[in-house]
Amino acid sequence: MSMEVREEIAVCGGKLLNLSHYASVVNCNMNVNVYLPQQYYTGSDGPIPVIYFLSGLTCSPHNASEKAFWQIQADKYGFSVVYPDTSPRGENVPDDSAYDFGVAAGFYLNATEEPYKKYYQMYDYVHRDLPAQLMDYFNNLKGTKVDFMVNISITGHSMGGFGALSGYLQNYGTKKYKACSAFAPIVNPTNVPWGQKAFGNYLGNDKSKWQLYDPCDLIKRVRNDGDDIILIHQGTNDTFLKENLKSQLLLEASKGTSWENKIDLRLVNGFDHSYYFVSSFVPEHAKFHAKHLGLI
């Protein structure tokens, strides 16, 4: 069980590694991209912290690597960026031909239903197996250390924004992630078509299982015991906003809970759902995460 470096690409002051590895939790080979910032090569005072970026529907690790422009920010502050894939892949992995379910639409959850459960264990993959495998591989290399397990934070776009919020809140008790932010996230999957289709197929009809992943439900059950703020940007011209994203519902759900006034939702005029939008606000998210990772 190890990482294969498929490609090493010079970007900004560091390198983007296209990696491939077998992940037993999802029963297939997975691709993942890792950006190592310039500090990895010039030396760093301590281990380099990591931001996990979870991508949206139809994406592979390459979409955000190529179009979100995290690399400039990673060099500026000295963090590494991990871009996991959005689902298991391969001949045996069950799929349908729709863009919003199956391959490239794993929804970062652990499926409990046939025929999906053998492969679609993306929650365990992203939050446990992948960090452990990256740690193991990079720890055995000489030189600067990268901290894939402790000084870490999480963000994502659309389905990946949902994955970031859900994973952050589910692990909030152990403070697994130092911070969470999201770009145009699906905030209430149990109440929107994308989420209902995915949750119904992956988790079955028992809606109590759905709620375990739903950010609007999680903020009612998970106590914000500090001053933790979740940063969210949402474009007003996003064609998915009204039917599937509905960011306002997270604000409404937070009322009367420990998360009231802790959801920093910024509606940005005129922006759409694309990486033109994501890349425009990556600098703000980078600064937010850098603070929580102790880099500024």
> Which segment (42-50, 152-160, 216-224, 250-258) binds ligand GSH by CB under 6 A?
152-160
**Residue 48: DSSP 8-state:** B
Smallest distance, Å, CB 65 to ligand GSH?
Answer: 11
Tell me the three state secondary structure of residue 180.
strand
Burial 139-160 (b: 16+ CB within 10 A, else e): eeeeebebbbeebbbbbbbbbb
Question: Nearer Cβ to ligand GSH, position 92 or 239?
Answer: 239
> Which segment (26-34, 58-66, 106-114, 205-213) binds ligand GSH by CB under 6 A?
58-66
Q: Report the chain's terminal Cα–Cα distance, integer Å.
A: 36
d(CA 160, CA 268): 19
Contact between 158 and ligand GSH per CB under 6 A: yes
285 is catalytic: no
Q: Which tokens hold the place of 61?
A: 């690790």
158 is catalytic: yes
Cβ pair 82, 154 in contact under 8 A: no
Contact between 99 and ligand GSH per CB under 6 A: yes
| CB closest to ligand GSH, residue no | 56
Q: Which of 14, 56, 102, 131 binds ligand GSH (CB under 6 A)?
A: 56
**Helix, strand, coil content of the chain in percent (nearest 5):** 35, 20, 40
Q: Which amino acid is at 273?
A: H
20 is catalytic: no
> Which segment (51-59, 115-123, 206-214, 225-233) binds ligand GSH by CB under 6 A?
51-59
> Which segment (5-13, 156-164, 247-255, 280-288) binds ligand GSH by CB under 6 A?
156-164
Question: Nearer Cβ to ligand GSH, position 153 or 158?
Answer: 158
Q: Which of 26, 50, 59, 93 binds ligand GSH (CB under 6 A)?
A: 59
How long is the chain?
Answer: 296
Smallest distance, Å, CB 194 to ligand GSH?
Answer: 9
Q: Which of 127, 157, 273, 292 is catalytic?
A: 273
d(CA 80, CA 203): 33
Q: Which residue has the tokens 């109590």?
A: 208
Smallest distance, Å, CB 184 to ligand GSH?
Answer: 8
Q: Which of 58, 190, 258, 279 binds ligand GSH (CB under 6 A)?
A: 58
Burial of 30 (0-12, 13-18, 19+ CB in 10 A): buried
Residues 6+ apart with CB under 8 A from 140: none
d(CA 228, CA 231): 10
d(CA 250, CA 269): 19
Q: Which of 127, 176, 246, 273 binds ligand GSH (CB under 6 A)?
A: 273
The residues carrying an active-site annotation are: 158, 238, 273
- Binding site residues, ligand GSH, CB under 6 A: 56-59, 63, 99, 157-159, 273-275
